[in-house]
Amino acid sequence: MTAREDWWYDEAAGPLVRPYAMVRGRTRPNAPDLHLVTQVRVSAFASDQTSLTVEHREIMALCTRPLSVAEVAAYLDVPLIVVKILLSDLIERGDVIVQNSSPQIPDRDLLQAVLDGVRGI
């Protein structure tokens, strides 16, 4: 027998806080148009952060520069769906702004800019 009280918790047990606990059991974001590459950044009018959770604040700290939803999820190390729900909270509060478009096929000018950019790296 071990006296340690945390004996049951090891790597195989997975994360101690289950992902859906971070979002209070919600499974869908209120903002429907968040895709993998949707760009998010902190707005110029971010409100008082005292009522925010740790995860919300981490997102606010990350997104002082524009990042994609996928990057936010990777840096926070939480599943995409969780980040989408947390981001939709911040969008509702007006704390972050997003690129206002669903994914669409790039036009010729955009493709030319990407071509020039890739050639230049």
* Of the residues 73, 87, 90, 91, which one makes contact with other proteins according to CB under 8 A: 73
Helix (H) or strand (E) holding 103: none
Work out the angle at residue 55's Cα, subtended by the Cα atoms of residues 52 and 61, and round it to the nearest 5 degrees.
Answer: 85
Whole-angstrom distance, CA of residue 59 vs CA of residue 40: 10
Q: Count Cβ atoms within 10 A of the Cβ of residue 31 and give its class: 0-12 exposed, 13-18 middle, 19 or more buried.
A: middle
- Interface characters, 33-62, with other proteins (x: CB under 8 A): --xxxxxxx-xx------------------
- Of 36 and 57, the one with the shorter C-beta distance to other proteins is 36
* Of the residues 53, 58, 80, 93, which one makes contact with other proteins according to CB under 8 A: 80
For tokens 């340690």, name the residue.
4
Contact residues toward other proteins (CB under 8 A) are: 19, 35-41, 43-44, 65-66, 68, 70-71, 73-75, 79-82, 97-99, 101-108, 110-119, 121
